[in-house]
Amino acid sequence: MDKQFFLLFLAVTCIFLSCKTEEPPVVSYQLQVDNKLASDTIDHKVSYKFEVINKLTSTVETGTWEVQLLKQDSSYFTVLKEENGQEFKIQSGSLIEKIPTDQLFQYDGLRIKGRIFFYKEDGQISLEKAFTVWGKPTITLFRIKLTEDNWYPNEKNVTLEFKYYGATRLSILHENDDYGYNIFFMLDMGTNSEVFNDLDIKSKNKFSVFASNFLGTTISNPIYIGED
């Protein structure tokens, strides 16, 4: 009886082992770039080519590519997009004019945070590579913060407020055609307001903020104070 039981057990075991399905190999993917991003920073002087490689088969995957910049509300702003691409190229200098100067981005120092994002519409693959990139300075606020009377009926003390990012130089241009002058006031970095005392409001005063870095200068919308 014991011998019969053993033979039956052996037969069942052999059937179980012969029917066992082999697990498929795990597929993984790698997002790679032909030129190294030094300090994870996109250099506007360098061209890049990105690909996603199936590490199991060494084939190049096809999908949708996006260059996205991280906003302060943690959403992403897409500056470049390409569908059904096996590779994605960023030509040298091509991003500079596509980065807006009126958005609230997140910064690493003076560089904007972003990512290269690759995905398939069926959701099987979703990969990203973080980077930082220089953009022209952004100006997100320029307004009259405070207006105060002084001792003279046609003069006021005016405080202008502004917010900017990514700048290394900052100035305000004061123009007054009635008096025939254009004066640039250079400001310290980190400054967010400037007071103009004894402003003649019987004439038209025009103010503009200039925020600059090595990529160029962003100019705010003007503010007019005084009579037309």
pLDDT of residue 7: 47
Say whether domain 29-133 belongs to CATH 2.60.40.
Answer: yes
> Is 138-225 in the same CATH topology as 29-133?
yes
Lateral strand order in the sheet of 155-165: 138-149, 155-165, 193-200
Q: Are 167 and 188 in contact (CB under 8 A)?
A: no
Domain ranges of the chain: 29-133, 138-225
Instruction: State pLDDT tens for residues 10-25.
Output: 454 555 445 455 566 6
Indicate the helix (H) or strand (E) that contains 16: helix 2-19
Task: Select the CATH number that applies to the domain covering 138-225 from these four: 2.60.40.10, 3.30.70.260, 3.60.15.10, 3.30.450.20.
Answer: 2.60.40.10
Tokens of 154: 């046609």
Tokens of 100: 């807006």
Q: What is the pTM of this model?
A: 0.81
Instruction: State pLDDT tens for residues 63-100.
Output: 999 999 999 999 999 999 999 999 999 999 999 999 99
* Side chain identity, residue 216: G
For the purposes of burial, counting CB atoms within 10 Å of the CB of 211, is it exposed (0-12), middle (13-18) or buried (19 or more)? buried
For the purposes of burial, counting CB atoms within 10 Å of the CB of 197, is it exposed (0-12), middle (13-18) or buried (19 or more)? exposed
Q: Are 67 and 95 in contact (CB under 8 A)?
A: yes
Q: 3-state class of 137 per DSSP? A: coil
* 179 pLDDT tier (thresholds 50, 70, 90): confident
Instruction: State pLDDT tens for residues 28-57.
Output: 899 999 988 888 999 999 999 999 999 888
pLDDT of residue 6: 47
Instruction: State pLDDT tens for residues 190-210.
Output: 999 999 999 999 999 999 999
E strands, 55-137, in order: 63-70, 76-85, 87-90, 107-108, 111-119, 126-133
pLDDT of residue 228: 64
Residue with tokens 């994002």: 117
Tell me: pLDDT of 121 over 90: no
